Amino acid sequence: MIALNYHRVSSVGKRDFYSLDSEVFRQQLNLLEKSNFSVVDPDRLIDQSFADDEIMLHFDDGTQDHFTVAHKELVQRGLRGMFFVSTAKIGSAGYLSVDQLREMSAAGHWIESHGHSHRIIREMNDEQLRHELTMSMQLIQEWTGRTPLIYAPPGGFYQKSQVAIINSCGYRGIRTMHWGQNIGAFRGLIKVAVVSGSTTIDQLTAWLGGKGLWQQSLRYYGKSAIRACIPLSLYVKLRNGVFSRGKSNGAYGAK
C-alpha cells in the first residue's frame, strides 16, 4: 500500500517545499483514477494487511485549499481522501471551517487527527500529550460524528515511549513521516510517499509500479540525519533551496 502525502494544493499564494500546483494535482488524480489502485478505508485497514493494489491519499494541516481544491477534485472522480487536521486551527484564517469539515466528512472523506495545537509532541510531558490527543479526538467527533482512528504527529516527530499513550487515547494507528511502501500486516504505523512541489508524473507512475520507493526510504534516513545535526531554521532553508532547484530536475523530499 502506498500512502501519498500531500500538503498545500493551490496555484495561488506563497509556495514552499510542500506546495503543489493545483493543475499538477489534477494530473496526478487523473493518473490515479485510471490506475488499478483502490483507496483504503481506514476501518478496513485496522488489524488487517496492506495490499499491493491499494493507496491512501493523505492531506496534512487542514488548509482552506483542501476544501476548495482537493475535496472538490476528489469528489469529481469518486475518490476519497484522509484529511489530518489540527483542531485548534479550524475556523481560523487560511484553514478549514467546521462547516467545510462536515461537508467533507459527509462526502465520504475521513477526518483524522493532526493533534490539537500542531505542537511537536516529543516536547510534551504525558499530561500535555493526553490533553492534545483527547481534545483533538473529541472535537472531530463533535464536528463529524465519527471517531478518528489515525493520528499524524506534527512534523512526524514523536518518541517511542509516547506510542502507548497515543494508543490509550483511542487511536488505532500512527501516520509517520517515514518514507516508503507499506508491506505486510498492519502494525500500527503507516509510512508515506511524500508528494512535494517537484514530484513529477513520471515519479508517481514509478511509485504506482513499485519502483523508486526504496529511494524515498534512503532519502528519509539521510535527511533525518541532517535534521538531527543542524538547527531547524537552517534545515528549512536548505530544504526550500532544494525545492527551488528541484522544480526543473524532479528532486523531491519530505518534512
**What are the boundaries of each domain within the chain?**
2-246
The mean-pLDDT minimum among 13-27, 112-126, 136-150, 207-221 falls in: 207-221
What is the predicted pLDDT for the residue at 220?
60
128 SS3 class: helix
What is the predicted pLDDT for the residue at 10?
87
C-alpha 96/C-alpha 89 separation (Å) is 8
- Predicted TM-score of the model (pTM): 0.87
C-alpha 196/C-alpha 199 separation (Å) is 5
**Banded pLDDT at 253 (limits 50, 70, 90):** very low
Task: Give kind and range of the element (H or E) at residue 45.
Answer: helix 42-45
Which listed CATH number (3.20.20.105, 3.20.20.370, 3.30.470.20, 3.40.800.20) goes with 2-246?
A: 3.20.20.370
**Banded pLDDT at 18 (limits 50, 70, 90):** confident
C-alpha 122/C-alpha 150 separation (Å) is 18
**Banded pLDDT at 252 (limits 50, 70, 90):** very low
- Residue 159 corresponds to which amino acid? Q
233 CB contacts (<8 Å, ≥6 apart)?
none
